[in-house]
């Protein structure tokens, strides 16, 4: 199995290294990832600048291709310009920080996998729900398990998997839940600060609402110590509303 790996934390992040090492058990790995931190770029692509690609080394060995673009750029580049064979699987991650609820829309990690699915390749995003003291081991092992399933079981056209793990040792993880995306809102706010020159700047931060009434959500699975696997899709049409919209005076 040919596997293309990307992320949004950059090619030198800890998470992508753990993922690439683990996925070598499931197939041939090619890493094409942003040369810098690109979190929260969503599905952006680069069209007004060239994409520079350099070989990246880690621990003294060739690790992959660092590109001056976004995760979506990297997946396109990997498939259309760098890999000799079309990949059988695209995996994006392991992200430092969960990608649940509406975060999926901003996530470069999820968009890397979405790009793979748009190009017709089975794809998944993998994220670890913490920003502190990450242990990527259980996430990397779980990614291998999912990759092996994906090699055997087809996903519907236009569907990808969004995988999130709690930051717990393998023995403390309670199990795996197949979930839906939480509808819980992220409340963000801006910290107002002053720079050394006396100018005001703002830094966005925030958190999820403390309660999510939806028992089947990704957010609740993670909060309860479970791995969350959500099938997501990128057709944004509201099919239920189509016929009502036909009734508007638009024609
Ligand atoms: Mn990230």
Residue 50 lies in a domain: yes
Residue 241 lies in a domain: yes
Summarised one tens digit per residue, pLDDT across range 24-66 is 999 999 999 999 999 999 999 999 999 999 999 999 999 999 9
Range of the domain at 99: 2-182+213-246
Instruction: Supply the angle between the helices 14-23 and 137-152 in degrees, to the nearest 10.
Output: 40
- Ligand 1: centre distance to CA 135 (Å): 15
How many independent structural domains does the chain possess? 1
**Torsion-angle region of residue 71: left (phi > 0), alpha (psi -120 to 50) or beta?**
alpha
Residue 204 lies in a domain: no
Residue 191 lies in a domain: no
Give me the CATH number covering residue 105. 3.40.1210.10
CB 100 within 8 A of CB 218: yes
Summarised one tens digit per residue, pLDDT across range 170-221 is 999 999 999 999 999 888 999 999 999 999 999 999 888 889 999 999 999 9
- Ligand 1: centre distance to CA 245 (Å): 37
Residue 197 lies in a domain: no
- Ligand 1: centre distance to CA 69 (Å): 14
- Ligand 1: centre distance to CA 31 (Å): 16
């Amino acid at each position: 199995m040919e596997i293309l790996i990307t992320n949004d934390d950059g090619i030198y992040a800890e998470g992508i290294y753990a993922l690439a090492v683990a996925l070598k058990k499931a197939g041939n790995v090619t890493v094409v990832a942003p040369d810098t931190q690109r979190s929260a770029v969503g599905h952006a692509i680069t069209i007004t600048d060239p994409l520079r690609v350099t070989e990246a080394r880690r621990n003294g060995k060739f690790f992959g291709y660092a590109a001056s673009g976004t995760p979506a750029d990297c997946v396109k580049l990997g498939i259309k310009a760098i890999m000799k064979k079309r990949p059988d699987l695209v995996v994006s991650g392991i992200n430092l920080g969960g990608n649940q609820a509406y975060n999926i829309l901003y996530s470069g990690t999820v968009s890397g996998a979405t790009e793979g699915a748009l190009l017709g390749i089975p794809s998944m995003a993998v994220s670890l729900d913490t920003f502190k003291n990450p242990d990527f081991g259980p996430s990397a092992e779980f990614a291998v398990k999912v990759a092996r399933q994906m090699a055997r079981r087809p996903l519907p056209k236009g569907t990808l998997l969004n995988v999130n793990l709690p930051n717990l040792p393998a023995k403390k993880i309670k199990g795996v839940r197949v979930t839906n995306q939480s509808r819980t809102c992220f409340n963000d706010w801006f910290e107002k600060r002053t720079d050394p020159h006396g100018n005001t700047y703002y830094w966005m931060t925030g958190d999820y609402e403390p309660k999510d009434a939806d028992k089947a959500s990704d957010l609740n699975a993670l909060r309860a110590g479970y791995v969350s696997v959500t099938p997501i899709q990128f057709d944004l049409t509201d099919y239920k509303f189509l016929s009502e919209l036909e009734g508007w005076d638009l024609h």
